[in-house]
Amino acid sequence: MLKRAVLSLALGLPLLLGACAPVNSLLASRDGGEKGPLQFGPLAVGQTWTVSGVVDSRNVVTTVTIPDLVNVQGKFASYSARDEYTGFNDNRAGFAVASYDPDRRSAEFRWVGDAGAGSFDKVTYTCKLDNLTGTPLIGVLTYGRNGQTVANGTCEANLNGQS
């Protein structure tokens, strides 16, 4: 009986390893076969971006780190959907998420803003980048309060260490 179980496992092992091939290809670097950090579009694990802009007559700036890239509803994001939901739902000022949509070839940086002392409002900023060429990346900045868009402006995203 034990021999049959071991034999079944041994015969099934190539199938299991073959099933890992798509995951392995996702984990491979996009740079011609060289090993490097996981990357999708302009985002790569280990990067730090500075995102700034002007909206509703105010200057805003945040720093967004890319600790990981996970598939979240067809996009590649720096945090899982649960972490993103928790960060935004708990209104954690400074919590930021970067994402890349391979279908639209666009990137987005979203973060929770500081609503001010004593305020229970939920303030969010979104920098949407449809053109991913050039340095810095230029896009549209949206300022939201309590789930409603308040104003739009412009934003730019700079990969730290590049100018």
DSSP 135: S
Give me the mean pLDDT over the 126-142 stretch.
Answer: 96
Q: Copy the structure tokens of residue 48.
A: 């730090």
Beta bridge partner(s), residue 67:
none
* Cα distance between residue 120 and residue 54, in whole Å: 23
Q: What are the pLDDT digits (tens) for 114-133?
A: 888 778 899 999 999 999 99
CATH number for the domain formed by residue range(s) 39-159: 2.40.128
Phi and psi (nearest 5°) for 117?
A: -60, 135
Any idea how long the chain is?
163
Answer whether residue 33 shows pLDDT above 70. Answer: no
Q: What is the rounded average pLDDT for all residues in the chain?
A: 83
SS percent in the chain: helix, strand, coil, step 5: 20, 40, 35
* Cβ neighbours around 108 below 10 Å, total: 20
- Say which range, 32-36, 65-69, 149-153, has the weakest mean pLDDT: 32-36
Give me the mean pLDDT over the 95-122 stretch.
Answer: 93
Delimit the domains of the chain by residue range: 39-159
Q: pTM, whole model, 2 decimals?
A: 0.76
